[in-house]
Structure 1
Amino acid sequence: MIKEELTEELYCIGCGAKIQTDDPTERGYTPAAALQKGLDSGPVYCQRCFRLRHYNQMEKVSVTDDEFLAMLNTISMEDALIVNVIDLFDVYGSMIPGLHRFAGNNKVLVVGNKVDVLPKSVKLSRVKQWLTEQVQSVGLRPVDVMLVSGKKATSIDDLLETIEEHRDGKDVYVVGVTNVGKSTVMNQIIRAATGNKEDVITTSQFPGTTLDQIRIPLDDGHFLIDTPGIIHHHQMAHVLSPKELKLVAPQHEIKPITYQLNPEQTLFLGGASRFDFISGEKSSFTCYFANDLKIHRTKLEKADEFYAKHLGTLLQPPSAEDAENFPPLVRREFNVKVPSDIVFSGLGWITVRKPGKVAAWVPQGVDTVMRKPII
């Protein structure tokens, strides 16, 4: 019966996604039993909308590049505030190319998430200024830049007040790429906004009607709109399994490790990436990676042999079962003249303090860049 009903192309009354019962990871998924119940007794919701409606739980939804660009085009025609969530641990990898063009005349509020993983010794005022410079370098002119932690609800109340200050009675679109923690931030916003708070956003019924967006009604008739995350294929997340990703994605405050390196030494970042100090004076190199990621030092001349021998065993991730199909590492050389971060997209970064020549190796398809130090 359910299969027959599905041939009529049922759509979620909450978000408009086409209902399907086959793949829990895809949009519009509804367990068969829940679908039957909905068909028998009332409106049909996808699992994502059901959980949001009953448990204030926001789940990730992703779209292709083309779908995301089409969605951004529609936002540019709206009169709204755009909230762009960026991962502080992967700023380059979580920026949306051309967002300033799609924003049109709309204000953009930039939110740097995962401030909780930065070392406590870091001055957040400097991080905020640094992030402002980074987004301005790609053409964004945000009305404000904020630092929050979706995981620990740090500064969420301040974020709500800032949104209310800048939305001018308009809709609010929350945008971001996958794995920036956008859903976590949205969950915290919902929890905070539905409490007994004055002069901030309050909500009523959750579900909206726009395809692949969750529209959360505000008390003035406008909406806080959660949009699907765009997939950036140059992030490390797309070459590692979910289990391996948990190993390399910081869950707690980072404990930086500093190595004194001579020229022609190599650091392996698990088996996921590699850093070569090719030439220059002996110097300190500070590594900012998840605490569970094991770093191994060896001589540059033996690095290739070391990697081939230990990938999937001593050098993890990838795991032994995934090592055979792990993409080959691709080399990019940098001539460092001033203190800089060498960034491994979605993995972390190494701060180079003195002039010299270095090389970063990342899985084919993953990006690596040199930037002004964040710390």
Structure 2
Amino acid sequence: MDSKTDLYCIGCGAKIQTEDKTAIGYIPQSALDKQLTDDTQDVYCQRCFRLRHYNEIMPVSIADDEFVRLLNEIGDRDALILNVIDIFDFNGSIIPGLHRFVGDNPVIVVGNKEDVLPKGVSRGKVRQWLFEQSHDQGLRPVDTVLVSSKSGRNVDQLMALIDKYRHGKDVYVVGTTNVGKSTLINQIIKQNMAIKDLITTSRFPGTTLDQIEIPFGDGKNLIDTPGIIHEHQMAHLLGPNDLNLIAPQKALKPKVYQLNAAQTLFLAGLARFDYLQGERQGFTVYVDDQLYLHRTKLENADAFYEKHLGELLNPPKAEAIADFPKLVRHEFSIDQKVDIVFGGLGWITVQKPGVIAAYAPENVDVVIRKALI
């Protein structure tokens, strides 16, 4: 659209555009044409339209510089911050430098996807791990909570924490893309009928370009912010169909592989686990059931990967190999029971001492932690 025909969303103030459905102000061209047939120039972007008519928040993302501007604004407000994290990809879903922007505002770290944790995992250990990881990133959360944005599990616990720490303030919900932030807010709306009624019966109250305000009823708001694209996520390397193979939809079931030293385990074509030194032992793998796992000899691993990537070892699919980054090696010397965590995929539990090498795509994190089980 040129400057003569520029339109702005009456809900959030974003400039209407029909090209990028992940960006602010998006509306399909057909829907825009339909809205413009009315006797008014007032139009809603798709995100605001769905909130107004269906009480549904849609995810939207913005560029780094816009996100930094938004975070600076939040730091200047007196507010409670909810930082939504993917517990299967902490490093890939943490907002870089968030601690520098929140100021003195209290932060609750919300770990999403609790419902797909294996049954044997101590939720208390996961919360403690989230707390420790947050501290390592410079955050000082006042509390942590595990939720499932998909099922709504523990959303009542989250609301109780909001009530505990809000003290009459606005609440900002921040997070990277792919962490389930918008789905979580939809669960809050669904489970809190007072909020739902307010949205249904009143014109959407947000007036800023890049956030949606949901009234609490006391003059303050729960404010949904756009997600920032974190490039160090496995999800950004795969298409939608392949994402279904790595994103678990139900509780992970452990798979045990007995490995001798000098054996390799491939996690499809996305990651690799080499057992370099140590006595024979069982390694427990926690990934989606659909993800293909293959055991082979270490001496054959490089050639096997090169020959079968995109075919037997997929994802990535053959047509995506050209754009798929090389796997980067990370070596660990193990002296206690630990998890080797592949960002966005899952983890492998190492029971006994030994030396291992773990590979993941360039810029995707591989980290070690105390075993959760």
The TM-score, its normalising length taken from structure 2, stands at 0.93
For 2:126, the equivalent position in structure 1 comes to 127
For 2:174, the equivalent position in structure 1 comes to 175
For 2:96, the equivalent position in structure 1 comes to 97
| Counterpart-to-counterpart distance in 2, 1:7 and 1:270 | 51
Q: Which amino acid aligns with 1:22?
A: E
Is contact 2:195–2:217 with CA below 8 Å preserved after alignment?
no
Residue by residue over 1:127-167, the C-alpha shift from the partner in whole angstroms, topping out at 9 and shown as x without a partner, is 22222222222222222111111111101122112212211
Q: Secondary structure at the match of 2:89?
A: helix
Q: Which amino acid aligns with 1:229?
A: G
Q: Which amino acid aligns with 1:100?
A: H
Which of 301, 310, 331 is residue 299 of structure 2 equivalent to?
Answer: 301
| Counterpart-to-counterpart distance in 2, 1:325 and 1:123 | 38
For 2:311, the equivalent position in structure 1 comes to 313
For 2:60, the equivalent position in structure 1 comes to 61
| Counterpart-to-counterpart distance in 2, 1:347 and 1:24 | 26
Instruction: Give the CA RMSD over aligned residues.
Output: 2.0
Q: Secondary structure at the match of 1:41?
A: coil
**Worse-superposed segment, 148-157 or 61-70:** 61-70
| Counterpart-to-counterpart distance in 2, 1:280 and 1:19 | 60
| Counterpart-to-counterpart distance in 1, 2:233 and 2:164 | 34
Q: Which amino acid aligns with 1:51?
A: R
| Counterpart-to-counterpart distance in 2, 1:217 and 1:365 | 39
Q: Which amino acid aligns with 1:165?
A: K
For 2:11, the equivalent position in structure 1 comes to 14
| Counterpart-to-counterpart distance in 2, 1:24 and 1:124 | 36
Is contact 1:53–1:207 with CA below 8 Å preserved after alignment?
no
| Counterpart-to-counterpart distance in 2, 1:19 and 1:123 | 46
**Worse-superposed segment, 270-279 or 327-336:** 327-336
Q: CA deviation at 1:230?
A: 1.4
Is contact 1:24–1:30 with CA below 8 Å preserved after alignment?
yes
Q: CA deviation at 1:195?
A: 5.4
Residue by residue over 1:98-145, the C-alpha shift from the partner in whole angstroms, topping out at 9 and shown as x without a partner, is 222211111111111110001122222222222222222222222211
Residue by residue over 1:71-114, the C-alpha shift from the partner in whole angstroms, topping out at 9 and shown as x without a partner, is 11110000000001111111222122322221111111111111
| Counterpart-to-counterpart distance in 2, 1:344 and 1:158 | 29
Compared CA separation, residues 24 and 231, structure 1 to 2 (3 A): closer
Compared CA separation, residues 358 and 209, structure 1 to 2 (3 A): same
Task: Give matches, 1:312-331, under 5 Å.
Answer: 312-331=310-329
For 2:151, the equivalent position in structure 1 comes to 152
| Counterpart-to-counterpart distance in 1, 2:22 and 2:230 | 18
Compared CA separation, residues 332 and 247, structure 1 to 2 (3 A): same
| Counterpart-to-counterpart distance in 1, 2:340 and 2:172 | 32
Task: Give matches, 1:19-34, under 5 Å.
Answer: 19-34=16-31
For 2:246, the equivalent position in structure 1 comes to 248
Is contact 1:49–1:207 with CA below 8 Å preserved after alignment?
no
| Counterpart-to-counterpart distance in 2, 1:372 and 1:112 | 18
For 2:111, the equivalent position in structure 1 comes to 112
Q: Which amino acid aligns with 1:102?
A: F
| Counterpart-to-counterpart distance in 2, 1:319 and 1:196 | 44
Q: Which amino acid aligns with 2:286?
A: Y
For 2:330, the equivalent position in structure 1 comes to 332
Compared CA separation, residues 253 and 143, structure 1 to 2 (3 A): same
| Counterpart-to-counterpart distance in 2, 1:115 and 1:139 | 24
Compared CA separation, residues 154 and 23, structure 1 to 2 (3 A): same
For 2:216, the equivalent position in structure 1 comes to 218
Q: Which amino acid aligns with 1:191?
A: K
Is contact 2:88–2:344 with CA below 8 Å preserved after alignment?
yes
Q: Which amino acid aligns with 1:134?
A: Q
**Worse-superposed segment, 103-112 or 352-361:** 352-361
| Counterpart-to-counterpart distance in 2, 1:296 and 1:117 | 23
Instruction: Point out where structure 1 has 5 or more consecutive residues left out of the alignment.
Output: none
Is contact 2:330–2:359 with CA below 8 Å preserved after alignment?
yes
Q: Secondary structure at the match of 1:232?
A: coil
| Counterpart-to-counterpart distance in 1, 2:57 and 2:335 | 45
| Counterpart-to-counterpart distance in 2, 1:32 and 1:236 | 31
Q: CA deviation at 1:236?
A: 0.5
Is contact 2:95–2:176 with CA below 8 Å preserved after alignment?
yes
Q: Which amino acid aligns with 2:142?
A: V
For 1:83, the equivalent position in structure 2 comes to 82
Compared CA separation, residues 196 and 210, structure 1 to 2 (3 A): closer
Q: CA deviation at 1:8?
A: 3.7
Q: CA deviation at 1:342?
A: 1.5
Instruction: Point out where structure 2 has 5 or more consecutive residues left out of the alignment.
Output: none
Is contact 2:24–2:62 with CA below 8 Å preserved after alignment?
no
For 1:289, the equivalent position in structure 2 comes to 287
Is 1:280 the counterpart of 2:278? The answer is yes
Q: Secondary structure at the match of 1:89?
A: coil
